[in-house]
């Protein structure tokens, strides 16, 4: 897969001879659609449970943590074309869901006896076929406390093997309609993007 470590992948510090990771990094995601709520049939059954979803999200690890607790992190991401989600649902192979230039993109962490990791992106991204995506959320909740090593944003993705909840949530609406559809996908993999 292509390297999507945006801007700089790794920088060599000559004075110490050690490696440091770049500020902007990308995690790749694999998931499977589990549930669809579409009372107005806006998706026209084009997406079904079992459909595969893949993609990535990019974020900046150097944004300030606005939470005061050492156990919690709240990171509002910068509004630029680098940060955000890029997802593809197999059933909509000609369309990718992209959230670049998001209206709001944040990452929340909670590293305590239980771990919680939440990424939220609100935007208005045309999907085609008369549909617009308005929200993407990624949530991981691990009651065993093994998902996160700290509340900081790092190059290491959350560990999902013990997570009770590992959901990718997508909401949207048909053009000209206020009625929204929602779908949930169960995440099977989150990894640091590499070659």
Residue spans per domain, the chain:
10-192
Q: What pLDDT score was predicted for residue 104? A: 64
Q: Can you give the pLDDT of all 195 residues of the chain as single tens digits?
A: 333 322 222 222 222 333 345 588 899 999 999 999 998 888 878 888 999 999 888 888 888 888 888 888 988 887 666 777 888 887 765 555 665 545 567 888 998 889 999 998 877 667 666 778 888 899 999 999 999 988 888 889 999 999 999 999 999 888 777 888 999 999 999 999 985
pTM for this prediction: 0.80
pLDDT of residue 95: 57
Q: Residue 141's pLDDT is what?
A: 95
What lies within 8 Å, CB to CB, of 151 at 6+ separation is: 65, 67, 69, 70, 71, 72, 73, 109, 110, 111
H or E segment at 93?
none
Report the first-to-last Cα separation within the chain, whole angstroms.
5
Q: What is the pLDDT of residues 174-187, one digit of tens each?
A: 877 788 899 999 99
Q: How far is Cα of residue 83 from the mean position of the Cα atoms in its chain?
A: 10
Q: Cα 4 vs. chain centroid, distance in angstroms?
A: 14
Is residue 89 a contact partner of residue 51, using CB atoms and an 8 Å limit? yes
The rounded distance, in Å, linking the Cα atoms of 84 and 58 is: 5
pLDDT the model gives residue 28: 94
Rounded Cα–Cα distance for residues 11 and 137 (Å): 31
């Amino acid at each position: 897969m292509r390297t999507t470590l945006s801007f700089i992948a790794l920088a060599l510090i000559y004075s110490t001879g050690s490696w440091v990771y770049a500020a902007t990094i990308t995690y790749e995601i694999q998931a499977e659609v589990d549930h669809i709520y579409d009372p107005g049939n806006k998706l026209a059954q084009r997406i079904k449970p079992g459909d595969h979803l893949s993609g990535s999200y990019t974020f900046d690890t150097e944004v300030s943590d606005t939470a005061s607790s050492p156990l919690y992190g709240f990171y509002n991401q910068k509004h630029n074309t680098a940060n955000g989600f890029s997802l593809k649902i197999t059933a909509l192979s000609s369309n990718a869901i992209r959230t670049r230039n998001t209206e709001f993109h944040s990452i929340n962490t909670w590293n305590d006896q239980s771990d919680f990791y939440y990424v939220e992106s609100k935007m208005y991204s045309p999907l085609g076929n008369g549909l617009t995506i308005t929200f993407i959320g990624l949530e991981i909740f691990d009651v065993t406390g093994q998902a996160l090593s700290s509340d900081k944003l790092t190059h290491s993705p959350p560990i999902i093997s013990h997570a009770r909840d590992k959901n990718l949530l997508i909401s949207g609406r048909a053009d000209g309609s206020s009625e929204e559809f929602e779908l949930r996908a169960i995440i099977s993999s989150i990894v640091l993007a590499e070659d």
